[in-house]
Structure formats: C-alpha cells, structure tokens
C-alpha cells in the first residue's frame, strides 16, 4: 500500500513537476535567445540607417560610423563586418578581412533581398545575424552588416536557471514523496493493526482488542471489529459451555446406571424383585440418554439457516390439531384440559416437520409445568404477513429474570422437576432455532404460580 502510494504520488505530482520544468526551460531559452536576436537586429538597423545617412559606402564620414561599429562590437562582445554590394568588406571590427570578399549562401541571399534566419553556432556559443543595408530612391540593397555576437552570457544564465529549477523540482519531489510515505504510514498502520489482530484471533487468541486512533472512519472500523470480536468470544464461550454441558448431561444417566449395576453386583444374593426394580430404573436412564442424544441431534441439525428448510404448503390449523390430538393422552393423565382456538384458516409456506417439533415442545412444556387439573390453550391467528401461535397454560410460571435463560441449551428452572418429567433442557433451544430458521420470533410472558404464554410469530412465506 505504502509503495503503491509512492508510485501514485510520483505519477501524479513528481512527473508533472519535471514535465513543467522542461516546458518552462524551453520557453525561457526561446525567450532569452529571441530577445537577444531582436536587440541585435534593432541595433543593426540603426547602424544601417547611419551607414546610408553618413554615405559610408562612398567613403564619407567613416570615422563617426566606425566608432558606432566599435560600440556595437563592445556591447555584444562580437564582430561587426560591413560589406558593400560587391561583397567587399569595408569594415571588419577584427580588422582581419578588410577589403576581402565575403561570399556565402546566406550573404548572397540577403544581398538579393531575401530574409535570412539568424544562425546559431553552439560550438562557439554565438549567433550570426545578417542585416541588409538599403538606401536610395529605390531602396536597393547597398550592402550588408554581418554581426557575430557571443551568447555565452545567455548560456550561462540559462545554465543557472536550469540548475536552480532542477534543485527546486528535486526538493518539491522529495517533500511530496516524504509526505506520501508519511500519509501512507499513518493510514496503513491501523489496517496493519487490524490485520495483526485478525491473525492473532485466527491463532486462537480471542482476548485481544484493537484500539485504533485516527480519522473517524478508522475508529468506526475498530469499533465494528471489537463488536465482532466480542460476539466471537461469546460464541466461543458458549461453544465451550455447550460441550461441557453435553458431556455432563450424557454422563449423568451413565453414572446412575453404573451405580445400579454395581449395587446388584455387590449383592450376589439379591432377590429377583430387586433385580427387576433396578433393571427398570436402568431402562429409564437408557431412555433418558436416548432422549438427550435425539434432542442434541435435532439441535445440531438446525443451523438457523433458512436454506436447510424443507418448505411446503402447510395447513397450520390441521398441524396444531394433530399435535394436540397426540398429546391429549399425556394431558389427560394429569387431568389437564386442552383447547385449540382457531381464529381463521391458515396455510403457510414452511417446514412442517420442524414446526411440528417446535410447537410440540411448547405444548409438552405447557403440560409438564402445569398443575394437576389445569388447562392449556393453543390459539392460532394470522394477518397478511404472519401467523401467530399462542400456547398458554395455568402452570407454575417462570420468573421474569429467566425469560432469556430458558431458551439456552440445557437450562432448566427446576432441574429436579424437569428430570422427573423427562426433560432434557434442550426443548426450548430447539424451538427457538426452528423459529429463527423461519425468520420468525418467539416471546414469553409469565406470572409465577399463575401461568405462562409463549407467542410465536412466523412469516406466511419464508424467503429461502
Ligand atoms: P425441559 O426439557 O427441561 O423442559 P426446555 O428447554 O423445554 O427444557 O425448557 C427449559 C426450562 O424452561 C424448563 O426446564 C422449565 O424450567 C422452563 N419452562 C419451559 N416451559 C415452561 C412453562 N410452560 N411453564 C413453566 N416453565 C417452563
């Protein structure tokens, strides 16, 4: 991330800085040299005017004009040559080729009235400019001025600018890259911390929290992460608790059976009646072990995922009638009256087997935790979205502070009573899981010694 940020910074800032510097330098060099050429041309035209005015080509006033030439020569640290229309040098400020002929393509072209471009010689760092001297009525070319001017000072100035701009560009680039590295560090550090924490959790250390300081967005991630971590910890704790509960619950019937069998073994002359009685007790324990294993299997199968549901169109009225019919004999044993109240016919898209198990658990509990001669009322209603099943009883009730607890696996308000009635402490956990798989909700309301009402809400159509 940091490396990529540096590359991006270089691409969007450093590269443009250098491109800009290049363009600027090109402009500056253009301007420097063209201004110098302009200035030399201006001076040359002035000199040309003087040459005509002073009648230089006819040998007049040469001293005055020669001093002008000397001045020009001094200003531009160069050489001034005046040529007449016969290409004969009338004046060479270096006095080397006086009276000689100067013939070159540019000189001829200029003499013929064509414009010539300044010629730049990078080896000697100078520029040569040829200016025609025109005069007379017909403005004919009477001669030429050839100026070779040094541009060494320009090259030096340009070199200084080039050097300075290079340092400025490097300085800026260094600052920008340093800034990118710094920002990269600041921004990636929290993410690295999160990654480290995730790795620690993957290794099994659930106790660590991440604390990220920085922009609000990063703190939000850290908070969300800690919430997730807390939930993971809870899940891990509950998993461990579940495993230890399962072992304990499965061991209890085994321990009882062992005690019964041992006591028979230590009494070689035990009467047959005792054997029979103990054997019956052992069968009860085996049934209990079986019940626990069956409940555990149903619980494990349900993973709160709607995808595992076996959806069909179910007549809920008939389903509840059947549940009550099956449980009526159990209720009759304790003289408990069972009533089904249907407000309307309800059909729903749901998993019939699972919902039958869920409601059976609720009605069984309503019978188990009831008083002899009490009542159980099951009611069914629906609106356009959900159907509602209420299971009320006139039983012992549940203290309000335990409303949440009773849905936990193996939780029982009164262990002895649950055991007596063959409970495993898993019924409500299974029921709740089934309801959640259907995207539904389950609520309990109770008053101790008066009764309990469980309300279940299930969507008429489960999104699968
Ligand atoms: P169990 O197999 O013990 O019945 P459940 O998970 O079905 O396990 O219920 C958990 C506990 O909730 C029960 O042990 C009981 O104490 C309490 N409970 C459940 N339903 C009722 C009810 N209708 N009235 C009173 N207590 C109830």
Q: Is the pLDDT of residue 303 over 70?
A: no
pLDDT at residue 237, as a whole number: 85
Instruction: Answer yes or no: are the C-beta atoms of 71 and 93 closer than 8 Å.
Output: no
Residue 464 or residue 319, greater confidence: 319
Task: Name the DSSP class of 314.
Answer: E
Whether the model pTM is above 0.75: no
Q: Within the chain, what is the greatest distance between any pair of CA atoms?
A: 165
CB-based contact 2:184 (threshold 8 Å): yes
pLDDT value at residue 350: 94
Most confidently modeled of 90-104, 207-221, 413-427?
90-104
Tokens at residue 82, please?
């005046």
Per-residue model confidence as pLDDT tens digits over 68-91: 888 888 888 889 999 998 999 999
With a Cβ cut-off of 6 Å, ligand 1 is lined by: 361, 365-366, 369, 393, 395-398, 406, 411-414, 418, 423-429, 452
Cα 255 to ligand 1 centre (Å): 24
Distance of CA 304 from the midpoint of ligand 1 (Å) = 21
Label residue 305 by pLDDT band (50, 70, 90): low
> Exposed, middle or buried: residue 389 (CB in 10 Å: 0-12, 13-18, 19+)?
buried
The residue to mutate among 293, 358, 428, 429, having the most atoms of ligand 1 within 8 angstroms of its beta carbon, is 428
State the closest ligand 1 atom to the C-alpha of 415, by its place in the atom list counted from 1. 14
Q: How far is the CA of 362 from the centre of ligand 1 (A)?
A: 9
Nearest to 363 by CA among 319, 400, 298, 309: 319
- The rounded distance, in Å, linking the Cα atoms of 172 and 72 is 43
Most confident of 121-130, 299-308, 320-329: 320-329
Where does the pLDDT of residue 325 fall: very low under 50, low under 70, confident under 90, or very high at 90 and above? Answer: very high
**Given ligand 1 and candidates 406, 415, 417, 431, which is best to mutate, with the most ligand atoms within 8 Å of its CB?**
406
Average pLDDT, the chain: 89
CA dist., res. 406 & res. 425, Å (int): 8
Q: Can you tell me the distance from the alpha carbon of 157 to that of 220, in angstroms, rounded to the nearest whole number? A: 57
Residue 300: its pLDDT value, please?
Answer: 79
From ligand 1's centre to the CA of 142, what distance in Å?
127
Ligand 1 centroid to 335 CA: how many Å?
20
For residue 141, give the H/E element and its range: strand 140-150
Nearest to 302 by CA among 461, 453, 427: 427
Res. 417: pLDDT tops 80: no
Average pLDDT over residues 14-39: 93
């Amino acid at each position: 991330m940091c490396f990529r940020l540096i590359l991006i910074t270089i691409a969007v800032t450093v590269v443009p800085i250098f491109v800009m510097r290049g363009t600027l330098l090109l402009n500056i060099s253009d301007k420097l040299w063209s201004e110098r050429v302009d200035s030399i041309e201006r001076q040359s035209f002035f000199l040309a005017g003087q040459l005509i005015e002073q009648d230089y080509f006819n040998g007049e006033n040469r001293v005055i004009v020669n001093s002008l030439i000397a001045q020009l020569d001094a200003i531009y640290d160069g050489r001034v040559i005046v040529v007449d229309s016969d290409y004969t040098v009338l004046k060479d400020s270096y006095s080397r080729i006086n009276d000689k002929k100067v013939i070159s393509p540019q000189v001829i072209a200029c003499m013929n009235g064509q414009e010539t471009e300044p010629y730049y010689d990078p080896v000697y760092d100078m520029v040569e400019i040829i200016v025609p001297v025109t005069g007379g009525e017909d403005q004919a070319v009477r001669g030429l001025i050839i100026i070779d001017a040094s541009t060494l000072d320009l090259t030096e100035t340009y070199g200084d600018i080039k050097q300075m701009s290079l340092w400025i560009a490097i300085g800026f680039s260094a600052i920008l890259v340093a800034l990118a590295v710094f920002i990269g560090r600041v921004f990636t550090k929290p993410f690295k911390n999160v990654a480290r924490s995730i790795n620690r959790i993957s290794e099994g250390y659930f106790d660590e929290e991440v604390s990220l300081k920085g922009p609000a967005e990063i703190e939000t991630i850290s908070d969300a992460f800690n919430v997730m971590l807390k939930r993971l910890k809870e899940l891990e704790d509950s998993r461990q608790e579940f495993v230890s509960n399962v072992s304990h619950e499965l061991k209890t019937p085994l321990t009882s059976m062992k005690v019964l069998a041992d006591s028979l073994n230590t009494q070689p002359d035990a009467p047959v009646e005792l054997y029979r009685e103990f054997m019956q007790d052992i069968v009860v324990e085996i049934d209990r072990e079986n019940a626990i294993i069956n409940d555990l299997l149903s619980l494990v199968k349900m993973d709160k995922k709607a995808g595992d549901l076996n959806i069909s169109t179910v007549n809920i009225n008939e389903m509840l009638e059947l549940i009550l019919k099956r449980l009526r004999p159990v209720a009759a044993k304790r003289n408990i009256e069972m009533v089904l109240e249907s407000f309307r016919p309800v059909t729903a898209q749901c998993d019939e087997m699972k919902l039958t198990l869920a409601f059976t658990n609720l009605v069984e509990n309503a019978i188990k935790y009831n008083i002899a001669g009490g009542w159980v009322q099951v009611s069914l209603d629906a609106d356009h979205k959900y159907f509602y099943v209420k299971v009320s009883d006139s039983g012992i009730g549940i203290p309000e502070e335990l409303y949440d607890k009773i849905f936990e696996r193996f939780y029982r308000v009164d262990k002895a009573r649950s055991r007596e009635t063959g409970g495993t402490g898993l019924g409500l956990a299974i029921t709740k899981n089934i309801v959640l798989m259907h995207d539904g909700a389950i609520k309990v309301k109770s008053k101790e010694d008066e009764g309990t009402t469980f309300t279940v809400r299930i969507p008429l159509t489960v999104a699968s």
